[in-house]
Amino acid sequence: MAKAKKQPRPKAETPKGFADYFAAEVSERKAMLDTIAGVYELYGFEALESPAVETVEALGKFLPDVDRPNAGVFAWQEDTQTDKPGDWLALRYDLTAPLARVYAQFRAELPSPYRRYAMGPVWRNEKPGPGRFRQFYQCDADTVGAASVAADAEICSMLADTLEAVGIERGDYVVRVNNRKILNGVMEVAGLLDPAEPAKFLDVRGIVLRAIDKLDRLGTDGVCALLGEGRKDDSGDVTKGAELTSDQIAIVMGFLDAKVADGGATVRRLSDLVGSSTIGRQGVGELEYIAELMDAQGYGADRVVIDPSVVRGLGYYTGPVFEADLTFEILDDNGRPRQFGSVAGGGRYDDLVKRFTGQEVPATGVSIGVDRLLAALRAKGRASGIQRGPVVVTVMDRERMADYQAMAAELRNAGIRAEVYLGNPKNFGNQLKYADKRNSPVAVIEGGDEKARSVVQIKDLILGAKIAKDATLAEWQSQPAQVEVARADLVAEVRRILARTP
């Protein structure tokens, strides 16, 4: 300890790309996670909490968004304190890779199908940027071991229910559904996929997939450029194109454009586009079945729509893919209105467990971006980001701390958040400033005079702030911001004030 003095002081800084969350930021997110978990539970999913740390071997190379620079994981090698090299460990980058590991490991004991949900932080070793953090929450539900696309349909309806449960009104969101097999069929028609040799053209298909995924952001022209020669962005950076012929581009763009108002008509157009491709026809059939199940349960086009432009960037999807978009507008950083966009996505991935076991295990799931969803609720005024503080019992006489503690205890026993001011009580103004900073609704004051008369002063801090802001307002005059009540009426009076200022 003595040595520490010679060292320079450490910097008190959140590591770059990470964030600290305070008070309402924590409790609002928690409330949202609880609500989402409630819907997931209602649908029969059960909780799984796997550790933050996995072996690099188990995580595999399924990192999403592989075209981003510096994409990666936080990893380190175990120090075994022997000659033996240690395992490489890493922080999980999503909740799907750990699920595949858990399912492969415990499949003999787990129910089949295994419906699990998981929520918690994931970590990405990426270059931090505005609004892009290296630790963020995901909230996933997956069904492992169910081959039927009824499992996918169910996840789409659950996603709609979840969004409404957290406070996104019907009409303010849409769940868009597509099927990767249809895209494969279209690629077959365009000569970009040979069913006999699926490994061929893989690189080109990756570029096509990522290009389509950018339709929202780049528009038709941008995507066409990426499908062809490539694209130069505003900063002059060039993104390599897929080098498709104009006929091929027309086929792919025809697919993206296949959506019409009526779901049935969209499916018919898609059916034409995939021609005789076996995989394509299979995809159309699955999409029809999902649409049928959705309709039967009353999830109409106001909630779930078929939309061929949804492809999801992730390489591992093999069948249905879906995405939940918020359709209302917010102002972007430049003050321009734009659609809020995607808050959740998912799809079917039948190969993830196979990595471990060699056997294909059908699986489908969804991941909700909790922080984006919270941002949306705040933009709509449905989450405040502000938490009301506790009632503050001030300290007029530091010898009578036990009296003040007894008041706080009485309030707490009545279920009211309350505390005694525990800073230096000398400056009374500081005590009220503290209550103000805590956003406290009420301060309780009992000096020697009050004590002698068996009364307390109760200050309505919310009303007080309003009066201070708008002192001329006559209506406030009838409601004094500070009242004197009998000590015995402390709890009743505080409760009365709290009821007045919800």
Size of the site for a copy of itself (CB under 8 A): 107
Q: Which of 6, 12, 221, 381 binds a copy of itself (CB under 8 A)?
A: 12
Q: Which is nearer to a copy of itself, 111 or 171 (CB)?
A: 111
357 binds a copy of itself (CB under 8 A): yes
Q: Which of 30, 170, 232, 453 binds a copy of itself (CB under 8 A)?
A: 30
Q: Which is nearer to a copy of itself, 206 or 222 (CB)?
A: 206
Nearest to 497 by CA among 442, 439, 456, 445: 442
d(CA 185, CA 149): 18
Cα angle: 240, vertex 241, 247; to 5 degrees: 170
H helix intervals, 126-179: 150-166
- Helix or strand or coil: residue 489? helix
- Binding to a copy of itself (CB under 8 A) within 451-470 occurs at none
Show Cβ contacts of residue 90 under 8 Å, excluding neighbours closer than 6 positions: 53, 54, 55, 56, 59, 73, 74, 75, 76
- CB of residue 258 to a copy of itself, shortest distance in Å: 25
- Helix or strand or coil: residue 365? strand
Radius of gyration of the CA atoms of the chain, in A: 29
27 binds a copy of itself (CB under 8 A): yes
Burial class (CB in 10 A: 0-12, 13-18, 19+), 276: exposed
479 binds a copy of itself (CB under 8 A): no
Q: Which is nearer to a copy of itself, 251 or 366 (CB)?
A: 366
Q: Which is nearer to a copy of itself, 111 or 219 (CB)?
A: 111
- Binding to a copy of itself (CB under 8 A) within 216-275 occurs at none
153 binds a copy of itself (CB under 8 A): yes
- CB of residue 77 to a copy of itself, shortest distance in Å: 9
Q: Residue 263 CB: number of other CB atoms within 10 A? A: 23
Q: Which of 35, 60, 309, 498 binds a copy of itself (CB under 8 A)?
A: 60
- Binding to a copy of itself (CB under 8 A) within 394-413 occurs at 398, 401-403, 405-406, 409, 412
Q: Which is nearer to a copy of itself, 231 or 348 (CB)?
A: 348
Contact call for residues 182 and 283 (beta carbons, < 8 A):
yes
Q: Which is nearer to a copy of itself, 331 or 386 (CB)?
A: 386
Euclidean distance between the first and the last CA atom of the chain, given in angstroms as a whole number: 50
384 binds a copy of itself (CB under 8 A): no
4 binds a copy of itself (CB under 8 A): yes
49 binds a copy of itself (CB under 8 A): yes
HEC per residue, 72-112: CCCEEECCCCCCCCCCEEEECCCCHHHHHHHHHHHCCCCCC
195 binds a copy of itself (CB under 8 A): no
9 binds a copy of itself (CB under 8 A): yes
Residues facing 138 on adjacent strands: 120
- With tokens 């290009």, the residue in question is 211
- CB of residue 203 to a copy of itself, shortest distance in Å: 10
d(CA 37, CA 45): 9
Q: Which of 19, 238, 265, 486 binds a copy of itself (CB under 8 A)?
A: 19
476 binds a copy of itself (CB under 8 A): no
Contact call for residues 99 and 48 (beta carbons, < 8 A):
yes
d(CA 199, CA 193): 9
- Binding to a copy of itself (CB under 8 A) within 327-356 occurs at 355-356
204 binds a copy of itself (CB under 8 A): no
Token pair for 326: 């918020």
- With tokens 């129910």, the residue in question is 111
Q: Which is nearer to a copy of itself, 148 or 457 (CB)?
A: 148
Q: Which is nearer to a copy of itself, 86 or 480 (CB)?
A: 86
- Binding to a copy of itself (CB under 8 A) within 79-138 occurs at 79, 81, 87, 89, 91, 101-102, 104-106, 111-113, 115, 121, 123, 125, 134-135
- CB of residue 353 to a copy of itself, shortest distance in Å: 9
Contact call for residues 36 and 119 (beta carbons, < 8 A):
yes
Longest dimension (CA), the chain: 95
317 binds a copy of itself (CB under 8 A): no
- CB of residue 439 to a copy of itself, shortest distance in Å: 9
- CB of residue 225 to a copy of itself, shortest distance in Å: 26
Choose the stretch contacting a copy of itself; rule: CB under 8 A; options: 183-191, 291-299, 459-467, 484-492: 291-299
Token pair for 251: 């086929």
- Binding to a copy of itself (CB under 8 A) within 206-225 occurs at none
Nearest to 347 by CA among 300, 370, 314: 314
